[in-house]
Amino acid sequence: MADSEEHRLIAERRRKLDELRDRGNAYPNDVQPSDQAADLHARYGEQDAQTLAASGDHVSVAGRMMAKRVMGRSSFAVIEDVSGRIQLFVERDTLAEGVYQSFKSWDVGDIVAAEGGMYRTNKGELSIRVDQLRLVTKSLRPLPDKFHGLSDQELRYRQRYVDLIMNDDSRQVFRSRSALVSFARAHLEAQGFLEVETPMMQPVPGGAVARPFTTHHNTLDMQLYLRIAPELYLKRLIVGGLHKVYEINRSFRNEGISTQHNPEFTMLELYWAFADYKDIMTLTEDLIRGASQALHGTARISYQGQELDLEQDFQRISLEESITHFNPAIDPGRLRDSDYLRQQLDERETRYEDNYGAGKLLTELFEKSVEEKLLQPTFIVSYPTEVSPLSRQNDADPFVTDRFELFIGGREIANGFSELNDPEEQAQRFRAQAELKADGDDEAMFFDADYIRALEYGMPPAGGLGVGIDRLVMLLTDSASIRDVLLFPLLRPE
RNA sequence: GGGGGUAUAGCUCAGUCGGUAGAGCAUCGGCCUUUUAAGCCGCUGGUCCUAGGUUCGAAUCCUAGUGCCCCCA
């Protein structure tokens, strides 16, 4: 960056900081504001000037100075605290000797504390008529343009602290994110789910088809993987008798970065004994509808210009039906015919590998021709067994499993299924995955012998769910990129 | 991995045909007791992303690279 220019502006403020140091403690820690801006607006917002003047109430606030307008012997300043903004009316002759002179040298961005009576200006704005004023923390770096804010996308991600200072929209996204997670916790706790924490560093990564990050523990001299999913540990807890568990935390996948993908991301996973995938669908629907209600007071939302109705019952349609629905030309009778599926994929210029069976080819065809069209909330059910190595096969049709994925706005939001609890069948599926891995598919699953041992003790029938929290936040905050809902998205180093 | 866009003052942005680098805000100095993108006067402030090339002369044209944004595999 152009350091010389920056240095000129910073040097000026550093000079001011030096003066503060000369006069005493430049970084005081004894400031305890008793009021917040939003409360003041709530309490006094309706009162007229005379009432305010007569009340005699004395308030104290502290926050970052976001605007400063000096007019000779009086000034206006606007400070922002965690709750919002309040204007300060500052007069030379109301303050102690010399304070006003100092105030004039303070900068927008400085953190100040003020006390005074409530006051309404001639133009009617609720303000504090300041009688005590302190500079609490000197800001050495100039803030962006007060009107345009910080709009450079790269700077917003790299210096999120500046983005948060300047852009209320950005602050709101992260408040919503927090509200969503709080809602999910409360919603699940109310149904008797227990929040647990399982290893993020795993000797055998499992629970998803994805490439893991590797790391190393020095003392044990062992290779570890950052988890790609918590699934296999959570199901060990079902074996252990914790029959309703959930975890909301980070998983890691060593894959590409896009508007939908960040290498570390947050999932809600839950497992529920004596439930099946249909129960899980109902729970998922309630959770997402309730989250929208909690954040917006409505389940009808707008996402990137698209109206989405989370209020109505979510559609449920099988993967195969969805393909024939959106591709009328496809022969419904040949959806499990590998040659036919390869031909259909060729026509759509979609790549596939020689070792793909009908189930995986079918899933590719779904992803290519259906997924993005599923705007309104839709559960796609009956995923092929071939692509569902941890799901329970359907009793009537072993080609598919009792599994669903939920799509909203053309994107996968959740994935759930009746869990495979037959240890011998699971071992067989792991072996098939291990063969794929041996063939060079580095996304294929590892054989997890301890997980099989756990299943051998007996896991009750159970349903499980994974929800991409980041994507759900995107949906509910109308954010186009996952980076907009991550406080510190991964970027290349500066 | 491929394609497109973008990069100029601290911030937000102009910059025509290749001919001395611009504005607003911020900073600095001055005026101002009811402003709210306060106003008025004056002054500062530049590695035009980087490295090459073409040219008498490059922010501008060419090549390569880098960051970010978007699309595609």
**Which CATH number does the domain housing residue A323 bear?**
3.30.930.10
pLDDT band at A5 (very low <50, low <70, confident <90, very high): very low
- A464: nearest Cα among A202, A279, A187: A279
Q: Are residues A390 and A276 in the same domain?
A: yes
Average pLDDT estimate for A52-66: 96
Q: What is the CATH number of the domain that holds A90?
A: 2.40.50.140
Q: What is the pLDDT of residue A418?
A: 98
| A97/A171 same-domain check | no
With CA of A349 and C1' of each nucleotide, the nearest comes out as B73
Q: Where are the beta strands (DSSP E) in A286-359?
A: 300-303, 306-309, 315-318
- CA–C1' gap, A156 and B21, in angstroms: 27
Q: Kindly indicate the confidence band of residue A6, based on its pLDDT and cuts at 50, 70 and 90.
A: low
Mark whether A191 and A107 lie in a shared domain.
no
Band (pLDDT 50/70/90 cuts) for residue A494 is: confident
Q: Are residues A102 and A233 in the same domain?
A: no
Task: Protein contacts on strand B: list nucleotides below 7 Å from a Cβ.
Answer: 1, 8-13, 24-28, 31-39, 44-47, 66-73
Query: Phi/psi class of residue A274: alpha, beta or left (left: φ > 0; alpha: ψ in -120 to 50)?
Result: left
A20, A135 in Cβ contact below 8 A?
A: yes
Whether A34 and A94 share a structural domain: yes
Is residue A148 one of the residues assigned to a domain? no
Segment A228-279, tens digit of pLDDT: 999 999 999 999 999 999 999 999 999 999 999 999 999 999 999 999 999 9
Query: Which whole-number Å values give the CA distances from A289 to A190, A244, A314, A457, in the listed order?
Result: 16, 21, 10, 37
Considering the domain architecture, whether residues A139 and A173 belong to the same structural domain is answered as no
Nearest nucleotide to A256, CA against C1' atoms = B1
Q: Would the pLDDT of A149 be above 70?
A: yes
- A154 CA vs B26 C1’ separation (Å): 21
What is the model's pLDDT at position A371?
Answer: 95
Is residue A159 a part of any domain in this protein? Answer: no
Q: Could you tell me the residue range of the domain that residue A120 belongs to? A: 3-143
- pLDDT (tens digit, 9 = 90+) per residue, A412-442? 999 999 999 999 999 999 999 999 999 888 8
Whether residue A2 has pLDDT greater than 80? no
A46, part of any domain? yes
> What domain count does chain A have?
2
Whether the predicted pLDDT of A493 surpasses 90: no
Q: Is the ipTM of this complex over 0.95?
A: no
Together in a domain, A62 and A199: no
**A292 shares a domain with A209:** yes
- The answer to whether residues A127 and A210 belong to one domain is no
Looking up tokens 């590719």 gives A364
Same domain, A434 and A288: yes
Residues A118 and A236 in one domain: no
CA of A4 to C1' of B26 (A): 16
* pLDDT tens readout for residues A381-401: 999 999 999 999 999 999 999
pLDDT of res. A365:
95
Q: Is residue A346 included in any domain, yes or no? A: no
Give per-residue pLDDT as tens, A87-129: 999 999 999 999 999 999 999 999 999 999 999 999 999 999 9
Is residue A345 pLDDT above 90, yes or no? yes
CA–C1' span, A147 to B14, in Å? 18
